Amino acid sequence: MLATIQYNSRKLKINLSNPLDISIPIRNGDKNVNAWYIGPPKITPHVEDDWVASVEEGASVNFNNIQFNPHAHGTHTETVGHITKKVHSINQNLKQFFFLAEVITVAPETFNDDRVISKKQIQFALGNKKRDALVIRTIPNTKEKLTRQYSNTNWPYLQAEAVDYLVKKGVKHLLIDLPSIDREKDAGALRGHNAFWNTKGKLRLDATITEFIYVPNTIEDGEYFVNLQIAPFENDATPSKPVLYKTVP
């Protein structure tokens, strides 16, 4: 099913019959993707006295408690409240959910003892394109990303100059298949986060960072609409489900 959308000054068609989910779900147990040195999420039946809220255990319903951290346990979308003293809720600040996006694939470069995504790489991938959202797939890109334990792995990250460039290009929604756009251990500097949300100037309250996505290799680089679906948590971050729709010439 094709839908025609007026987006800014462009009239675009998208294929609604072929949604491309790029989220990683939260699963119970050790096979869940994980970062930040905490245990796995827990999805367990509620227990009260002798009653176990599981149909398999004889209850009439399944009634689970879920314990997780949105930053550590799956695809999540965050706002500037992640790094500010004042609480800024993702549910209050993300008011639009469809954005023109570009999917790019990047092979992180070696920089000292790190692997980084540089400004030059982003410039080459985007060229003169104007996009509200950028989806970054890093390579190698295997299904191991769905369950990888990232703690103490020194994952690749975006150099601050690359993030500055995205801000100047007008990118408001940055999506990446890593636990963070910043270095795992940087003594709390969070240069990429601070640059993206402009914490030294007027805060970009309507800008978001989505981490822990997974973009299958069957999805080609190029132009898409992204539907950035979030759970309505009043928190700096929430589990999310970004879905891509390919634009049609």
Please state the rounded mean pLDDT for residues 14-32. Answer: 95
Does the pLDDT value for residue 18 go beyond 90? yes
Does the pLDDT value for residue 71 go beyond 90? yes
**DSSP secondary-structure letter at 123?**
H
- What's the one-letter identity of residue 202? K
Which distant-in-sequence residues (6+ apart) come within 8 Å of 76 by Cβ?
A: 70, 210, 211, 212, 237, 238, 239, 240
pLDDT of residue 7: 83
* Burial class of 169 by CB neighbour count within 10 A (0 to 12, 13 to 18, 19+): middle
Mean pLDDT rounded to a whole number for the chain: 96
Across the beta sheet with 157-158, what order do the strands follow?
109-111, 114-117, 157-158
Return the higher-pLDDT residue of 77 and 249.
Answer: 77
pLDDT of residue 150: 98
**What CATH fold (topology level) applies to the domain 2-25+70-248?**
Glucose Oxidase; domain 1 (3.50.30)
Does the pLDDT value for residue 3 go beyond 90? no
Does the pLDDT value for residue 2 go beyond 90? no
* Burial class of 199 by CB neighbour count within 10 A (0 to 12, 13 to 18, 19+): middle
Instruction: Give the residue from 33, 227, 246, 223 showing the smallest Cα distance to 142.
Output: 33
Q: What percentage of the chain exceeds 70 in pLDDT?
A: 100
Tokens at 39, concatenated: 């245990």
Rg (CA), the chain: 19
Domain boundaries, the chain: 2-25+70-248
Inter-residue contact 132 to 173 (CB < 8 Å):
yes
Q: What is the pLDDT of residues 115-161, one digit of tens each?
A: 999 999 999 999 999 999 999 999 999 999 999 999 999 999 999 99
pLDDT of residue 56: 95
